[in-house]
Chains A and B, each alone.
Chain A
Amino acid sequence: MKSGGERAIETVPRPVLALLVIAFCLQVAWQAWQPRPTARAEALGAPASPAALRALSLGEPIALAQLLTLYLQAFDNQPGVSIPYRDLDYMRIAAWLGTLLELDPAAQYPLLMATQLYGQVPDEARQRLMCSFVHDQFWRDPDRRWRWLAHCAIMAKHRLRDARLALEYAEAITRGARRASNWARQMHIFILEDLGEIDAATVLLGGLLASGEVTEEKEVHFLTERLKALEAAGKSSPPTRK
């Protein structure tokens, strides 16, 4: 079709104009009259296997993982039927998060959701399940995922009141994440101290200082003072209730 510009609106017959205006007004009125959409509280389905999802992603597994992450996040966040986290099937949540990490191993979002969203539910069993999930995932890429396990260690110590579990996570960071921050790699020493295992804490702290891994002057000073206090008093703080 040749396009030689447009003719004036006056060339449009009045019935056509009237029909357009009336139909448009009716359409908008109809849509405005409709109730707002409400979501249904359906059970969260099991995720497809990572291999199947990778095939479905048409070569864009990261984009698909990001979309599915938003889907999972929005699942319990529906207007009208907001589902409390404690009502969700946490085994299935863990399966979804694991699948998302399989599709996009560099992503931090699923681990953030595990620790900061699903891990915040006031239910000890579910908190432990999320921490266990993070612990499992940590070993697949310790240098990139240590901060989430560190969060779980703190959660285990202060919220779950399970210093042994906190120690297990802290030791995993020390052993596995060579590039983790010093505070995270030293965390197990202070947990040991809290547990009353002063001798072990003293040995580990002395070893850390002797290894030369800590180079910052103020940090060396702080740790040295701490070591002296441990050696002198035998115990610097009362053990945490286990």
Chain B
Amino acid sequence: MDSRITAIARYTLIEAMRTRLPALVLVTLLALLASSFFMETIAVVESNRLQAGFYAASVRLASVFIAAIYVLVSLTREFNDKGLDVLLALDLPRSHYILGKLAGFLAIAALVAVAAALPLAWFSPLPAVALWAASLAVELAVVVALALFAIVTLNQLTPAASFVLAFYLLSRSLTAVRLMSAHPLTGADTLSHQLMRFMVETLALIVPALDAWTQTAWLVNEPAAWSAILPLLGFGALYVVLLAAATMFDFYRKNF
């Protein structure tokens, strides 16, 4: 990797350390862990299962929220502090800046995923936890790449955060939307429904179905097979590349 990309990635990681991201992650994990222990104590049966299920589902959402917000705020600060202007004045291709930032954020995503999965080792079998952690890492990678794309394209924090939130919610519900649109009770032949179904299916070509990723069922029921996870990992990597390319495309076209 180009040393300039590595340097930007390294400083992105250092920035995360100095802005107390690890402390925030730790406090969040402890709070969710404490809540899961509370749930375990009030459960009458299947207390361990309930504890693992609650912790896994809530820490997944919390991790996505923290990772996305961190990327958005970090880039917004860079824009406002004019640090980006200084960097662009140097002999640094714009693509290197985006790739360096993305590499740093991907490393942060991986670290957050590992930290989130560690407590699960006490509740669930290790192979299941490893699968779950790998899936969460890829999910967070997609989220940070998406957040990077959103803030570079939309410039402002509020619209970028709204875009990321809407995209994530859609990704988590896309399969249900497709199922409902495929078999309506009435009006299946109407033009409006056909149009709506076409739009939903087109959307499904572009938006990843994140509801199939990082499933709590892998921890509390049967762990998924690695053969089932590998396509998710491959697809996640492809999606990160697509988002990185889209971000670079937008970034090259911006005037400063």
- Residues of A at the B interface (CB closer than 8 Å) are 1-9, 11-13, 16-17, 19-20, 23-24, 26-28, 30-32, 36-37, 39, 70, 73-74, 77-79, 82
Contacts and interface: CB of A to CB of B under 8 A. Distances in A.
Interface residues of B, number: 32
A27 B206 contact: yes
A39 to B, nearest CB: 6
A3 B255 contact: yes
A5 B185 CA distance: 48
Contacts of A30: 235, 238
Contacts of A26: 238, 242
A84 to B, nearest CB: 14
Contact of B204 (A23, A31, A39, A70): A31
Interface stretch (B50-58, B128-136, B174-182): B174-182
Given A13-B252, A27-B242, A73 B205 contact: no
A17 B249 contact: yes
A177 B92 CA distance: 79
A28 B205 contact: yes
Given A6-B254, A28-B206, A78 B242 contact: no
B153 to A, nearest CB: 11
Given A11-B253, A12-B249, A32-B205, A37 B178 contact: yes
Contacts of B155: 1, 3
**Quick one: which of B95, B238, B252 has the most chain A CB within 10 A?**
B252
9 contacts: A3-B155, A3-B255, A6-B253, A7-B254, A12-B252, A19-B245, A26-B238, A31-B208, A78-B183
Nearest to A77: B183
Interface in B199-254: 204-206, 208-209, 235, 238-239, 241-242, 244-246, 248-249, 252-254
Contact of A74 (B180, B245, B249, B256): B180
B34 interface: no
A37 B181 CA distance: 12
Contact of B242 (A2, A13, A23, A70): A23
B238 A37 contact: no
A30 B208 CA distance: 10
Contacts of A9: 253
A27 B178 contact: no
B64 to A, nearest CB: 20
A125 B33 CA distance: 48
Given A12-B252, A37-B179, A77-B185, A1 B79 contact: yes
A70 B179 CA distance: 12
Given A23-B245, A27-B206, A27-B238, A79 B179 contact: yes
B245 A20 contact: yes
Nearest to A6: B253
